[in-house]
Amino acid sequence: MGEKDTIRHLKKGEALYRKGEPADSIYLITQGEVEIEHVDGPVTFQAGDVLGIFDAILRNTYTKTAIATTKGQVKFSSVKKDLVAIEGTLTHKLMHSFLVAKDAETPGYWS
C-alpha cells in the first residue's frame, strides 16, 4: 500500500464489504479483526492481513462478506485509481498469474 492510501475505521459488526458489491478496493487491516465466512467455517484475519485482493484483481465483485469482529481500522487502495498504473506491466502479469494459481489451489479462500 502506498502514500495514497485511505484509512477507514470499523465498528464491531460493521461490514468492510459485502458479497456481490463491486470489488474496487484492497484492504490492509491495521487494527482489529475481520471475519470472512468460508465453506469450512469462518476465518479470522487480523492486523497485517490483506483482504479483497483476489476479488479486486481477478473478479469484478466480492465473493464473500467481510465483517469486523472487533473495533478496527483498515487502510485501503482503490484498484481503479492506484493499480491501473501498473496494468499491462510485467509486475501486473506476474501478480495476476500468482493470484490465479493460489486461487486455483483453494478456490475462494483468499477472497
- CA 63 to CA 109: how far, in whole Å? 10
pLDDT band at 55 (very low <50, low <70, confident <90, very high): confident
As a whole-number percent, the residues of the chain with pLDDT over 70 amount to: 83
Q: Output the pLDDT for position 98.
A: 75
Determine whether 41 is exposed, middle or buried from the number of CB atoms within 10 Å of its CB (0-12, 13-18, 19+): exposed
> CA-CA distance, 88 to 84, in Å (whole number)?
9
- Inter-residue contact 18 to 55 (CB < 8 Å): no
pLDDT exceeds cutoff 60 at 50: yes
pTM (two decimals): 0.76
Question: In this predicted model, which residue has the larger pLDDT, 3 or 72?
Answer: 72
Give the amino acid at 9: H
